[in-house]
């Protein structure tokens, strides 16, 4: 498919609570032309990620909020159509932060070339991209997981969690996780390296379910969710346990922040370390991960799942579906086929 115009998704209004289709608008304009030093790319795959929900609010964060009327931004993999930048030529495959749109013009320096060889192109938005890097940085560097550790992961079947489980397993940890359906729980154990797992939506008592999944307690908590499951996991932490705070998706669609987890005194009594992190602060570790992950993929040590929506106009629904847990593994949107 080759589009004659450039379809774009813009922020129409700021959500109150859950994101809805009305928060987005679709516009269509002529395909842009690159100036000197710029590149025109055709976007092939784009990523929808939980952090984008935070950018829809008008609050200060580590990344500026989207402006009303602005084309939304995402991680994309793209093919160069026309280059006026010395380092890239027509047909090259690149990745970068570009618009929710069919075609983008970018300063060539902001794009990273990707090889067409080692893995399918879409993997560069997932297991070989930002979510995989997040899993590695959080587990191996922030929480410093080591052989024999008992690791517990929330949102365990998603883009980040599915990689955390496998990395923990490769490094000799006992790994347990929680997810939102029985199908996801089965996948955790069958494909994503988890020794035990449970469905948090059908649990009668989250503290009991965590205790049963981690009978020796938790050395490393990889926290993606926050709220009640975070509180439940705190009670199972072992002395000197480490908590990598990766995200708190349970809070993203709330109008008001919730009070913190009860039991914070446990952090004192059990001498816990809690550290939040943002993956983009750690480019060296990200490069280290990608080298290792390509090797693990070749050796068949890493499994990968993705949920793929089709077409730019379906990107808002794919984003809403991901926030509601309808994705399995990494949620992406395919915008075009490779030429
Ligand atoms: N710190 C960083 O640099 C960084 C980078 C990337 C991602 N993150 C964070 O990592 C976390 C996972 O991101 P991801 O890209 O891998 O997304 P993901 O897990 O692929 O998708 C989000 C998942 O979160 C779960 N979820 C949604 N609402 C929930 C709730 N109220 N309670 C429990 N689970 C809920 C859903 O799975 P279930 O069906 O299991 O509920 C959903 O599939 C997010 O918190 C994100 O913000 C942080």
Q: Are 261 and 313 part of one and the same domain?
A: no
What is the C-alpha separation between 306 and 333, in angstroms, rounded? 10
pLDDT(187) > 70? yes
Q: Is residue 219 part of a domain?
A: yes
Q: Are 85 and 18 part of one and the same domain?
A: yes
187 lines ligand 1 (CB under 6 A): no
Total domain count, the chain: 2
Q: Is residue 174 part of a domain?
A: yes
Residue 239 belongs to domain spanning: 130-280
Label residues 63-75 b or e (16+ Cβ within 10 Å = b): eebbeeeebbbbb
Lowest mean pLDDT across 118-122, 304-308, 322-326: 118-122
277 lines ligand 1 (CB under 6 A): yes
What is the C-alpha separation between 14 and 20, in angstroms, rounded? 10
Q: Are 29 and 141 part of one and the same domain?
A: no
Q: Are 211 and 75 part of one and the same domain?
A: no
The model's pLDDT over 163-186, given as tens digits with 9 standing for 90+, comes to 999 999 999 999 999 999 999 999
The pLDDT value given to residue 316:
98
Q: Are 142 and 273 part of one and the same domain?
A: yes
Q: Is residue 339 part of a domain?
A: no
Helices 182-190 and 161-170: angle between axes, nearest 10 degrees? 30
Strand pairing category for 306-310 and 330-334? parallel
Give me 45's structure tokens: 């795959």
- For the chain, the distance separating the N- and C-terminal CA atoms, rounded to the nearest angstrom, is 9
The pLDDT value given to residue 118:
75
What is the C-alpha separation between 226 and 251, in angstroms, rounded? 7
Strand pairing category for 237-245 and 218-223? parallel
CB contact at 8 A, 229 and 216? no
Q: Is residue 178 part of a domain?
A: yes
Q: Are 112 and 140 part of one and the same domain?
A: no
The CATH number linked to 119 is 3.90.180.10
Phi–psi pair at 241, nearest 5 degrees: -65, 155
What is the C-alpha separation between 150 and 214, in angstroms, rounded? 7
pLDDT(308) > 90? yes
The model's pLDDT over 67-79, given as tens digits with 9 standing for 90+, comes to 999 999 999 999 9
Three-point CA angle 207, 237, 223, nearest 5°? 80
What residues pair up with 107 in beta bridges, in sequence order? 38
Q: Is residue 15 part of a domain?
A: yes
Q: Are 46 and 183 part of one and the same domain?
A: no
Q: Are 178 and 256 part of one and the same domain?
A: yes
Ligand 1 atom having least distance to the Cα of 326: 43
Q: Are 134 and 265 part of one and the same domain?
A: yes
The pLDDT value given to residue 159:
98
51 lines ligand 1 (CB under 6 A): yes
Distance (angstroms) between ligand 1 centre and the Cα of 222 equals: 11
Q: Are 15 and 135 part of one and the same domain?
A: no
User: Looking at the whole model, is its pTM more than 0.85?
Assistant: yes
Phi–psi pair at 231, nearest 5 degrees: -60, -45
179 lines ligand 1 (CB under 6 A): yes
Q: How confident is the model at residue 258 (pLDDT cuts 50, 70, 90)?
A: confident
What is the C-alpha separation between 317 and 314, in angstroms, rounded? 5
Q: Are 138 and 276 part of one and the same domain?
A: yes
55 lines ligand 1 (CB under 6 A): no
Q: Are 86 and 167 part of one and the same domain?
A: no
- In three state form, how does the secondary structure of the chain look? CCCCCEEEEEECCCCCCCCCHHHEEEEEECCCCCCCCEEEEEEEEEECCCHHHHHCCCCCCCCCCCCCCCECEEEEEEEEEEECCCCCCCCCEEEEEEECECEEEEEHHHCEECCCCCCCHHHHHCCCCHHHHHHHHHHHHHCCCCCCCEEEECCCCECCHHHHHHHHHHCCCEEEEEECCHHHHHHHHHCCCCCEEEECCCCCCHHHHHHHHCCCCEEEEEECCCHHHHHHHHCCEEEEEEEEECCCHHHCCCCCCCCCCCCCHHHHHCCCEEEECCHHHCHHHHHHHHHHHHHHHHCCCCCCCEEEEECHHHHHHHHHHHHCCCCCEEEEEECCCCC
Q: Is residue 116 part of a domain?
A: yes
Q: Is residue 27 part of a domain?
A: yes
Q: Is residue 294 part of a domain?
A: no
Ligand 1 atom having least distance to the Cα of 49: 15
The pLDDT value given to residue 4:
87
- Whose CA is closest to 307, among 322, 285, 290, 324? 322
The CATH number linked to 276 is 3.40.50.720
Distance (angstroms) between ligand 1 centre and the Cα of 69 equals: 26
How many CB atoms are closer than 10 A to CB 330? 28
The pLDDT value given to residue 339:
79
pLDDT(55) > 90? yes
């Amino acid at each position: 498919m080759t589009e004659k115009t450039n379809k774009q998704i813009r922020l129409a209004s700021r959500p109150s609570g859950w994101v809805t289709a009305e928060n987005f608008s679709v516009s269509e304009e002529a395909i842009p032309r690159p100036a000197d030093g710029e590149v025109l790319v055709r976007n092939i795959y784009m990523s929808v990620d939980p952090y984008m929900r935070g950018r829809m609010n008008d609050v200060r964060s580590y990344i500026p909020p989207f402006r009303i009327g602005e084309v939304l931004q995402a991680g994309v993999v793209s093919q160069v159509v026309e280059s006026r930048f010395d380092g890239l030529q027509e047909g090259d495959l690149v990745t970068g932060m570009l618009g929710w749109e069919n075609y983008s013009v970018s300063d060539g320096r902001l794009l990273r070339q990707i090889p067409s060889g080692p893995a399918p192109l879409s993997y560069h938005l997932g297991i070989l991209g930002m979510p995989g890097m997040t899993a590695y940085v959080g587990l191996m560097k922030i929480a410093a997981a080591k052989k024999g550790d008992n690791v517990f992961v929330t949102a365990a079947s998603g883009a980040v969690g599915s990689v955390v489980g496998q990395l923990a397993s490769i490094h000799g940890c006992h790994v347990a996780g929680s997810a939102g359906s029985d199908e996801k729980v089965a996948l955790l154990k069958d494909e994503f390296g988890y020794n035990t797992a449970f469905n948090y939506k059908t649990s009668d008592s989250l503290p009991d379910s965590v205790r049963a999944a981690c009978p020796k307690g938790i050395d490393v908590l990889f926290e993606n969710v926050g709220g009640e499951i975070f509180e439940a996991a705190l009670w199972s932490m072992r002395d000197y346990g480490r908590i990598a705070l990766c995200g708190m998706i349970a809070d993203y669609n709330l109008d008001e922040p919730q009070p913190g987890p009860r039991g914070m005194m446990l952090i004192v009594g059990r001498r816990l370390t809690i550290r939040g992190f943002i993956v983009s602060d750690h480019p060296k570790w990200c490069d280290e991960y990608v080298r290792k992950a390509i090797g693990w993929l070749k050796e068949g040590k890493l499994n990968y799942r993705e949920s793929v929506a089709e077409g730019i106009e379906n990107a808002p629904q794919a984003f809403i579906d991901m926030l509601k847990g309808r994705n399995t593994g990494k949620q992406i949107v395919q915008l075009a086929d490779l030429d």
